[in-house]
A and B are shown apart, each in its own frame.
Chain A
Amino acid sequence: MTLIELMAALAIAAAVSAGALAVTAGLGRSGRAGAADQTRYELGDGLHRLLEAELAHAERYRKTPGGFQLQGHWALEGPSARIAHLPATVTYELKPSAGRKWLVRTQQVENLPPRSDLVAAGVESIELRTKAEGRPVVDREGWRAVSSEAAVVVRMDTGTQEVFDFRLR
């Protein structure tokens, strides 16, 4: 084996190793991006389903600092969060803890103790937009009737934003 052959073999080996490293790194990035996509998709899908059911059963809403409240006939019961169509007031609000904001759903059914469930972590803001905003306020406490179309905008602390559009009636 001449010196030239040895140099050529080393160059090829270096090129193949660099390629292999690049592919492996790409796979890792793709895997992490895929996992992040999957997490984002699952979170978005879960939030979409929850909010859709919540708004479909809601009759009135009002905005609160950092969230919103709904009055309707949809509640969760028991440790398995079984669906029950009971008159309930549901509050979506952000609670800061350990340097992050957590989206918490709290429901109040008549005289029962309030029930709180963690919905998502790392939510920067949540906003309910409905076409009913032009309508008159239903009562002194600021409740308005939920209209046929609504959207919920959720901004995550990662900088991403999800807009969920709903046709309700």
Chain B
Amino acid sequence: MVIGPKKSGFVLLVVLVVLAIAATVLAATARRCGSRAMAAGEMAREIQLRWGTISLKNLCLNSAGSLLNSTTADDGPARRIGKSLDLGGVRFQLVIADEGAKANVNLLAAQKTIGDLEPALMDLQADCRRVLPVVLRPVAPAGGRISALPMRYISLSQVLGFKHPAELIDPQSQEPSASDRLTCWGNGLVNFKTAPRQILRAVAGEVLSEGYIEKLRKLVAQKPTCSLAEAIKHLELNDDRAKKVRDLLTDRSSCFSLWVIADDGSRTWHRLYVRSSADTRNDREDWTFQW
């Protein structure tokens, strides 16, 4: 009887095949786990961003007036407050601003021709960190809204040429940005106690000369709580001029804005919320702008 060589390669082959299958299954499982972990991380960031933004909006926008009044600048209540904080790994930068301290584009559009409006808006940005080109895109005012001022401009996209919202606002900079000077929201009246000189000049320059504006600012510095009636009396304006001033200026702001800039280290989100309170001439308005 002849005994041939022993054939044991079959077992090795089977073991190798089984190992290859096991490795493939493990690799596929690891890949799926990895992608799901990444998606979960992304969702966690998204939730943090949403809740952070909602919380800050509810906290700051509802009490913007009192927050600004409690922070006193050199010449009266602050026009803008900037804060930053970290929530769950996302850095939030906030800018709370008084829209009544800015020149309302709709008011200027009602006062001026479109040819005069463009240089006026450029002048208002003269001291800004970055002067943005004026690109006017007015629309017919929408119906169904009570507004003393025709709302031909409802966003800064209709007024300024910019590619990124960071061009509109810089929470770190001490220099003003375009959105610190211009607004599209609110009743159009400028708060003479919080508005800077160039805003008063741009809005009420045809009624109040430079001397009157200087006198007004001195009065506010001496008595930050003075009313518009007291200011008109102090300026000794005649009835006609006093009426025009009452149509342009106010002593209380009713429109505030909140910029929320969130940064998670890899991406930055910009949100702008504006709330305008209702009064005898205007509906309450809430505006949201996301980029």
Which A residues lie at the B interface, using CB under 8 A?
Answer: 1, 9, 12-13, 16, 19-20, 23-24, 27, 30-31, 34, 38, 41, 53, 56-57, 59-60, 71, 73-74, 82-87, 110, 138-139, 143, 167-169
Contacts and interface: CB of A to CB of B under 8 A. Distances in A.
Contact of B157 (A30, A84, A139): A84
A71 B289 CA distance: 14
A83 B156 CA distance: 12
Given A31-B28, A85-B156, A87-B142, 18 more contacts: A9-B10, A16-B18, A19-B21, A20-B21, A23-B21, A23-B25, A34-B32, A41-B39, A53-B290, A56-B290, A60-B144, A71-B142, A73-B154, A73-B155, A73-B287, A85-B289, A110-B139, A139-B143
Contact of A83 (B7, B139, B154, B291): B291
Contacts of A138: 144
A38 B17 CA distance: 30
27 contacts: A1-B7, A12-B14, A16-B17, A16-B18, A19-B21, A20-B17, A23-B25, A27-B24, A27-B25, A27-B28, A30-B28, A30-B32, A59-B142, A60-B144, A73-B154, A73-B155, A73-B289, A74-B290, A82-B163, A83-B290, A85-B158, A86-B157, A86-B158, A87-B154, A110-B137, A139-B143, A143-B144
A57 B290 contact: yes
Given A73-B155, A85-B155, A85-B289, A139 B139 contact: no
A132 to B, nearest CB: 13
A62 to B, nearest CB: 12
Contacts of A1: 7
A57 B25 contact: no
B288 interface: yes
Given A27-B25, A57-B288, A139 B156 contact: no
Interface of B: 7, 10, 14, 17-18, 21, 24-25, 28, 32, 35, 39, 54, 137, 139-140, 142-144, 154-158, 163, 286-291
Nearest to A13: B14
Contacts of B21: 19-20, 23-24
Contacts of A9: 10
A16 B39 CA distance: 36
Contact of B288 (A41, A56, A82): A56
Given A20-B17, A57-B290, A139-B143, A86 B28 contact: no
- The 8 A-B residue pairs whose C-beta atoms are closest, nearest first, are A85-B155, A85-B157, A84-B157, A87-B139, A56-B288, A138-B144, A110-B139, A23-B21
A144 to B, nearest CB: 10
Contacts of A74: 290
